[in-house]
Protein backbone atom coordinates (compact mmCIF):
# COMPACT_ATOMS: atom_id res chain seq x y z
CA UNK A 1 0.00 0.00 0.00
CA UNK A 2 1.23 3.52 -0.84
CA UNK A 3 0.79 6.40 1.60
CA UNK A 4 1.35 10.14 1.16
CA UNK A 5 1.65 12.23 4.34
CA UNK A 6 1.55 16.03 4.12
CA UNK A 7 3.07 18.11 6.92
CA UNK A 8 3.46 21.86 7.37
CA UNK A 9 5.84 22.74 10.17
CA UNK A 10 4.65 24.89 13.06
CA UNK A 11 6.70 23.43 15.90
CA UNK A 12 9.25 21.34 14.05
CA UNK A 13 9.92 18.98 16.95
CA UNK A 14 6.27 18.00 17.29
CA UNK A 15 4.89 18.21 13.76
CA UNK A 16 7.85 16.57 12.10
CA UNK A 17 8.25 14.15 14.98
CA UNK A 18 4.73 12.78 14.71
CA UNK A 19 4.75 12.56 10.91
CA UNK A 20 8.19 10.94 10.78
CA UNK A 21 7.28 8.32 13.38
CA UNK A 22 4.08 7.58 11.46
CA UNK A 23 5.88 7.25 8.13
CA UNK A 24 8.52 4.97 9.65
CA UNK A 25 5.86 2.83 11.31
CA UNK A 26 4.06 2.34 8.01
CA UNK A 27 7.33 1.47 6.28
CA UNK A 28 8.23 -1.02 9.01
CA UNK A 29 4.88 -2.71 8.34
CA UNK A 30 5.86 -3.17 4.70
CA UNK A 31 4.21 -0.17 3.06
CA UNK A 32 5.78 2.62 1.01
CA UNK A 33 5.33 6.27 1.75
CA UNK A 34 6.21 9.81 0.83
CA UNK A 35 6.46 12.47 3.50
CA UNK A 36 5.72 15.84 1.93
CA UNK A 37 7.10 18.54 4.20
CA UNK A 38 7.64 22.27 3.78
CA UNK A 39 10.65 22.37 6.13
CA UNK A 40 12.58 19.14 6.59
CA UNK A 41 15.58 20.74 8.32
CA UNK A 42 14.83 19.04 11.66
CA UNK A 43 15.19 15.61 10.06
CA UNK A 44 18.90 16.30 9.57
CA UNK A 45 19.40 15.64 13.30
CA UNK A 46 16.15 13.87 14.18
CA UNK A 47 16.61 11.07 11.63
CA UNK A 48 19.98 11.55 9.88
CA UNK A 49 19.99 8.01 8.46
CA UNK A 50 16.50 8.24 7.01
CA UNK A 51 14.41 5.07 6.90
CA UNK A 52 13.95 2.38 4.24
CA UNK A 53 10.61 2.77 2.52
CA UNK A 54 10.16 6.45 3.42
CA UNK A 55 10.83 9.14 0.84
CA UNK A 56 11.01 12.75 2.00
CA UNK A 57 9.64 15.26 -0.51
CA UNK A 58 10.45 18.96 -0.30
CA UNK A 59 6.96 20.41 -0.48
CA UNK A 60 7.35 23.44 -2.74
CA UNK A 61 5.01 24.92 -5.31
CA UNK A 62 7.63 24.52 -8.01
CA UNK A 63 8.19 20.83 -7.42
CA UNK A 64 4.69 19.68 -6.52
CA UNK A 65 3.46 19.04 -10.05
CA UNK A 66 6.58 17.13 -11.05
CA UNK A 67 6.56 15.02 -7.89
CA UNK A 68 2.85 14.28 -8.13
CA UNK A 69 3.34 12.95 -11.64
CA UNK A 70 6.40 10.87 -10.78
CA UNK A 71 4.51 7.89 -9.32
CA UNK A 72 0.98 6.47 -9.19
CA UNK A 73 -1.36 8.27 -6.80
CA UNK A 74 -1.26 6.97 -3.24
CA UNK A 75 -3.78 4.54 -1.83
CA UNK A 76 -4.05 6.71 1.30
CA UNK A 77 -3.63 10.48 1.53
CA UNK A 78 -3.00 11.93 4.99
CA UNK A 79 -3.08 15.64 5.68
CA UNK A 80 -1.50 16.13 9.09
CA UNK A 81 -3.01 18.70 11.43
CA UNK A 82 -5.35 20.23 8.87
CA UNK A 83 -2.82 21.31 6.24
CA UNK A 84 -4.00 21.43 2.61
CA UNK A 85 -2.20 18.84 0.43
CA UNK A 86 -0.66 19.88 -2.88
CA UNK A 87 -3.51 20.45 -5.40
CA UNK A 88 -1.58 18.55 -8.07
CA UNK A 89 -1.44 15.46 -5.88
CA UNK A 90 -5.12 15.79 -4.92
CA UNK A 91 -6.06 16.00 -8.62
CA UNK A 92 -4.27 12.72 -9.35
CA UNK A 93 -5.69 11.17 -6.20
CA UNK A 94 -9.21 12.09 -7.37
CA UNK A 95 -8.81 10.20 -10.63
CA UNK A 96 -10.84 7.01 -10.78
CA UNK A 97 -8.99 3.97 -9.43
CA UNK A 98 -8.41 1.08 -11.88
CA UNK A 99 -11.10 -1.64 -11.96
CA UNK A 100 -10.71 -4.01 -9.06
CA UNK A 101 -8.48 -1.66 -7.06
CA UNK A 102 -9.37 -0.64 -3.51
CA UNK A 103 -11.06 2.69 -3.01
CA UNK A 104 -8.60 5.43 -2.07
CA UNK A 105 -8.84 6.92 1.42
CA UNK A 106 -8.24 10.55 2.43
CA UNK A 107 -7.64 11.24 6.13
CA UNK A 108 -7.23 14.37 8.20
CA UNK A 109 -4.88 13.38 11.03
CA UNK A 110 -5.81 15.75 13.84
CA UNK A 111 -4.04 17.04 16.93
CA UNK A 112 -3.90 14.93 20.07
CA UNK A 113 -6.32 15.76 22.86
CA UNK A 114 -8.05 14.07 25.78
CA UNK A 115 -11.09 16.35 25.50
CA UNK A 116 -14.53 14.66 25.10
CA UNK A 117 -15.07 15.94 21.56
CA UNK A 118 -12.32 13.62 20.27
CA UNK A 119 -14.44 10.50 20.77
CA UNK A 120 -17.43 12.21 19.14
CA UNK A 121 -15.57 13.37 16.04
CA UNK A 122 -13.13 10.52 15.47
CA UNK A 123 -13.85 8.81 12.16
CA UNK A 124 -16.52 11.24 10.98
CA UNK A 125 -16.71 12.01 7.23
CA UNK A 126 -16.08 15.46 5.75
CA UNK A 127 -17.27 15.82 2.12
CA UNK A 128 -15.09 17.92 -0.18
CA UNK A 129 -17.17 20.42 -2.20
CA UNK A 130 -14.57 22.44 -4.10
CA UNK A 131 -11.09 22.28 -5.55
CA UNK A 132 -9.46 19.34 -7.33
CA UNK A 133 -10.81 16.93 -4.71
CA UNK A 134 -14.46 17.95 -5.12
CA UNK A 135 -16.71 14.93 -4.75
CA UNK A 136 -14.33 13.03 -2.49
CA UNK A 137 -14.77 12.50 1.24
CA UNK A 138 -12.16 13.01 3.92
CA UNK A 139 -12.41 11.33 7.30
CA UNK A 140 -11.22 12.77 10.60
CA UNK A 141 -8.72 10.60 12.43
CA UNK A 142 -8.12 11.74 16.00
CA UNK A 143 -5.27 10.35 18.08
CA UNK A 144 -6.33 9.86 21.66
CA UNK A 145 -6.02 8.08 24.96
CA UNK A 146 -9.12 5.86 24.92
CA UNK A 147 -10.29 2.87 22.86
CA UNK A 148 -12.87 5.07 21.09
CA UNK A 149 -10.16 7.25 19.50
CA UNK A 150 -7.28 6.72 17.08
CA UNK A 151 -4.81 5.75 19.81
CA UNK A 152 -1.16 6.75 20.22
CA UNK A 153 1.92 6.06 18.13
CA UNK A 154 3.80 3.09 19.56
CA UNK A 155 6.36 0.85 17.89
CA UNK A 156 5.75 -2.88 18.17
CA UNK A 157 9.06 -3.46 19.97
CA UNK A 158 8.93 -0.35 22.17
CA UNK A 159 8.44 -2.07 25.51
CA UNK A 160 11.06 -4.71 24.76
CA UNK A 161 13.60 -1.99 23.97
CA UNK A 162 12.59 -0.07 27.08
CA UNK A 163 13.18 -3.13 29.25
CA UNK A 164 16.64 -3.72 27.75
CA UNK A 165 17.72 -0.11 28.23
CA UNK A 166 20.72 0.43 30.54
CA UNK A 167 20.86 3.99 31.79
CA UNK A 168 24.52 4.13 32.79
CA UNK A 169 25.68 2.71 29.46
CA UNK A 170 23.63 5.22 27.45
CA UNK A 171 24.83 8.16 29.55
CA UNK A 172 28.43 7.07 29.03
CA UNK A 173 27.95 6.84 25.26
CA UNK A 174 26.56 10.37 25.28
CA UNK A 175 29.46 11.64 27.44
CA UNK A 176 27.00 12.81 30.09
CA UNK A 177 28.64 12.87 33.53
CA UNK A 178 26.66 11.03 36.17
CA UNK A 179 27.50 10.09 39.74
CA UNK A 180 24.15 8.71 40.77
CA UNK A 181 22.41 12.06 41.18
CA UNK A 182 18.81 12.62 40.16
CA UNK A 183 18.46 13.24 36.41
CA UNK A 184 15.91 15.70 35.05
CA UNK A 185 15.18 16.35 31.36
CA UNK A 186 14.34 19.91 30.30
CA UNK A 187 12.59 20.12 26.93
CA UNK A 188 10.45 23.24 26.96
CA UNK A 189 9.47 26.55 25.40
CA UNK A 190 9.87 29.48 27.83
CA UNK A 191 7.93 28.37 30.92
CA UNK A 192 7.03 31.07 33.47
CA UNK A 193 8.24 28.91 36.36
CA UNK A 194 11.66 28.07 34.94
CA UNK A 195 13.59 30.38 37.30
CA UNK A 196 11.68 28.96 40.26
CA UNK A 197 12.52 25.41 39.16
CA UNK A 198 16.24 26.19 38.89
CA UNK A 199 16.22 27.80 42.31
CA UNK A 200 14.36 24.80 43.75
CA UNK A 201 16.98 22.37 42.49
CA UNK A 202 19.87 24.67 43.44
CA UNK A 203 18.80 24.82 47.09
CA UNK A 204 17.54 21.26 47.32
CA UNK A 205 19.18 18.78 49.64
CA UNK A 206 19.36 16.26 46.79
CA UNK A 207 21.97 16.60 43.99
CA UNK A 208 20.26 17.04 40.63
CA UNK A 209 21.64 17.05 37.10
CA UNK A 210 19.51 18.97 34.62
CA UNK A 211 19.87 17.70 31.05
CA UNK A 212 18.94 20.65 28.84
CA UNK A 213 17.92 19.89 25.26
CA UNK A 214 19.19 21.97 22.36
CA UNK A 215 17.09 24.77 20.90
CA UNK A 216 14.50 26.76 22.79
CA UNK A 217 15.13 25.07 26.13
CA UNK A 218 18.81 26.03 26.03
CA UNK A 219 17.96 29.57 24.99
CA UNK A 220 15.34 29.88 27.73
CA UNK A 221 17.85 28.98 30.45
CA UNK A 222 19.21 32.13 32.14
CA UNK A 223 22.99 32.57 31.88
CA UNK A 224 25.02 31.11 34.69
CA UNK A 225 27.56 28.47 35.65
CA UNK A 226 27.06 24.77 35.10
CA UNK A 227 27.26 24.14 38.86
CA UNK A 228 24.73 26.03 40.99
CA UNK A 229 24.59 24.68 44.52
CA UNK A 230 23.04 21.21 44.39
CA UNK A 231 22.21 21.69 40.72
CA UNK A 232 24.49 20.60 37.88
CA UNK A 233 23.58 21.50 34.31
CA UNK A 234 24.52 19.64 31.15
CA UNK A 235 23.66 21.15 27.78
CA UNK A 236 22.87 18.50 25.17
CA UNK A 237 23.29 18.56 21.39
CA UNK A 238 20.34 17.87 19.15
CA UNK A 239 19.33 14.23 19.57
CA UNK A 240 17.93 11.72 17.13
CA UNK A 241 14.41 10.50 17.84
CA UNK A 242 15.82 7.26 19.24
CA UNK A 243 18.17 9.09 21.60
CA UNK A 244 15.45 11.51 22.67
CA UNK A 245 13.47 8.45 23.77
CA UNK A 246 16.57 7.21 25.58
CA UNK A 247 16.92 10.58 27.31
CA UNK A 248 13.39 10.28 28.69
CA UNK A 249 14.05 6.70 29.75
CA UNK A 250 17.22 7.78 31.57
CA UNK A 251 15.66 10.60 33.59
CA UNK A 252 13.80 10.49 36.89
CA UNK A 253 11.65 13.50 35.99
CA UNK A 254 10.85 14.76 32.50
CA UNK A 255 9.77 18.25 31.48
CA UNK A 256 8.42 17.94 27.94
CA UNK A 257 6.58 20.08 25.43
CA UNK A 258 4.26 19.59 22.47
CA UNK A 259 2.53 16.48 21.24
CA UNK A 260 5.19 13.96 20.26
CA UNK A 261 7.21 14.29 23.46
CA UNK A 262 4.09 14.01 25.64
CA UNK A 263 3.44 10.57 24.14
CA UNK A 264 7.07 9.56 24.52
CA UNK A 265 7.04 10.70 28.15
CA UNK A 266 4.06 8.45 28.76
CA UNK A 267 5.91 5.49 27.28
CA UNK A 268 8.98 6.34 29.41
CA UNK A 269 6.89 5.87 32.54
CA UNK A 270 8.64 8.46 34.75
CA UNK A 271 6.85 11.45 36.29
CA UNK A 272 6.56 14.23 33.71
CA UNK A 273 5.40 17.82 33.35
CA UNK A 274 3.95 18.87 30.01
CA UNK A 275 4.23 22.38 28.62
CA UNK A 276 1.38 22.70 26.17
CA UNK A 277 1.48 24.83 23.02
CA UNK A 278 -0.28 28.15 23.69
CA UNK A 279 -3.55 28.70 21.80
CA UNK A 280 -5.77 31.74 21.37
CA UNK A 281 -8.33 32.47 24.09
CA UNK A 282 -6.46 30.09 26.43
CA UNK A 283 -8.05 27.07 24.75
CA UNK A 284 -4.96 25.11 25.74
CA UNK A 285 -5.97 25.35 29.42
CA UNK A 286 -8.94 23.03 28.87
CA UNK A 287 -6.80 20.73 26.78
CA UNK A 288 -4.19 20.46 29.53
CA UNK A 289 -6.78 19.83 32.23
CA UNK A 290 -8.44 17.14 30.11
CA UNK A 291 -5.12 15.30 29.87
CA UNK A 292 -4.58 15.64 33.62
CA UNK A 293 -8.08 14.30 34.26
CA UNK A 294 -7.41 11.28 32.04
CA UNK A 295 -4.05 10.77 33.77
CA UNK A 296 -5.79 10.87 37.15
CA UNK A 297 -3.03 13.24 38.19
CA UNK A 298 -2.65 13.76 41.95
CA UNK A 299 -3.14 17.32 43.21
CA UNK A 300 0.59 18.07 43.44
CA UNK A 301 1.20 17.06 39.83
CA UNK A 302 -1.81 19.04 38.64
CA UNK A 303 -0.58 22.15 40.49
CA UNK A 304 2.93 21.71 39.07
CA UNK A 305 1.48 21.60 35.54
CA UNK A 306 -0.54 24.75 36.18
CA UNK A 307 2.47 26.63 37.52
CA UNK A 308 4.68 25.45 34.68
CA UNK A 309 2.14 26.61 32.10
CA UNK A 310 1.42 29.98 33.71
CA UNK A 311 -2.10 28.99 34.79
CA UNK A 312 -1.40 29.57 38.50
CA UNK A 313 0.93 31.54 40.75
CA UNK A 314 2.83 30.55 43.86
CA UNK A 315 5.61 28.27 44.98
CA UNK A 316 6.47 24.99 43.33
CA UNK A 317 5.47 21.84 45.21
CA UNK A 318 8.10 19.53 46.63
CA UNK A 319 9.92 17.53 43.94
CA UNK A 320 11.74 14.93 46.00
CA UNK A 321 11.37 11.27 44.97
CA UNK A 322 9.06 10.67 47.94
CA UNK A 323 6.87 13.65 47.00
CA UNK A 324 6.74 12.50 43.38
CA UNK A 325 5.80 8.90 44.26
CA UNK A 326 2.04 9.46 43.69
CA UNK A 327 2.85 11.05 40.31
CA UNK A 328 5.06 8.09 39.44
CA UNK A 329 2.23 5.72 40.29
CA UNK A 330 -0.28 7.70 38.19
CA UNK A 331 1.98 7.73 35.13
CA UNK A 332 2.76 4.01 35.48
CA UNK A 333 -0.94 3.16 35.76
CA UNK A 334 -1.77 5.32 32.73
CA UNK A 335 0.93 3.63 30.68
CA UNK A 336 -0.44 0.23 31.65
CA UNK A 337 -3.91 1.26 30.48
CA UNK A 338 -2.51 2.42 27.16
CA UNK A 339 -0.49 -0.75 26.62
CA UNK A 340 -3.71 -2.76 26.84
CA UNK A 341 -5.04 -0.86 23.82
CA UNK A 342 -4.03 -1.05 20.17
CA UNK A 343 -1.63 1.64 19.02
CA UNK A 344 -2.38 4.32 16.45
CA UNK A 345 -0.78 2.47 13.56
CA UNK A 346 -2.93 -0.62 14.03
CA UNK A 347 -6.11 1.41 14.37
CA UNK A 348 -5.17 3.51 11.34
CA UNK A 349 -4.63 0.48 9.13
CA UNK A 350 -7.88 -1.07 10.33
CA UNK A 351 -9.77 2.15 9.62
CA UNK A 352 -8.31 2.35 6.10
CA UNK A 353 -9.22 -1.28 5.44
CA UNK A 354 -12.84 -0.58 6.41
CA UNK A 355 -13.06 2.45 4.10
CA UNK A 356 -11.25 0.96 1.08
Report, as residue numbers or ranges, the catalytic residues. 15, 259
Cα–Cα distance measured from residue 30 to residue 353, given in angstroms and rounded to the nearest whole number: 15
Distance of CA 28 to the CA centre of its chain: 19
Q: In what order do the strands lie in the sheet with 137-141?
A: 54-58, 32-37, 2-7, 76-80, 105-109, 137-141, 125-127
Q: Are strands 231-235 and 227-228 parallel, antiparallel or unpaired?
A: antiparallel
In terms of DSSP H, where are the helices of the chain?
12-28, 43-46, 61-68, 87-94, 117-121, 158-164, 167-173, 194-202, 216-220, 241-250, 258-268, 283-295, 299-308, 321-339, 344-355
Report DSSP letters for 175-230, one per residue: T---SS-EEEEE--S--TTHHHHHHHHHT-SS-EEEEEPTTHHHHHSPS--SEETT
Alpha-carbon separation of residue 296 from 15, 149, 186, 337 (angstroms): 27, 19, 23, 12
- Residue 327: how many other CB atoms lie within 10 Å: 23
Amino acid sequence: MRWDIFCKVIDNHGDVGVCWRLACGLAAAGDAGRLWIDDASALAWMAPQGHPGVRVVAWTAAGAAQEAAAAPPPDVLIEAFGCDPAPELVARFAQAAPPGAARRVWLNLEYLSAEPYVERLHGLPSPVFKGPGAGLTKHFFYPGFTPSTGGLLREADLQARRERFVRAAWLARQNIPWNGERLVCLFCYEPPALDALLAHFEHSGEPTRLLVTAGRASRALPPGPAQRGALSITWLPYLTQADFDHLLWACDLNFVRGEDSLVRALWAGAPFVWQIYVQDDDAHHSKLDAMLDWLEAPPELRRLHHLWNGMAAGELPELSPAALAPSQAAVAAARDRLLQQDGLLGRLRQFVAQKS
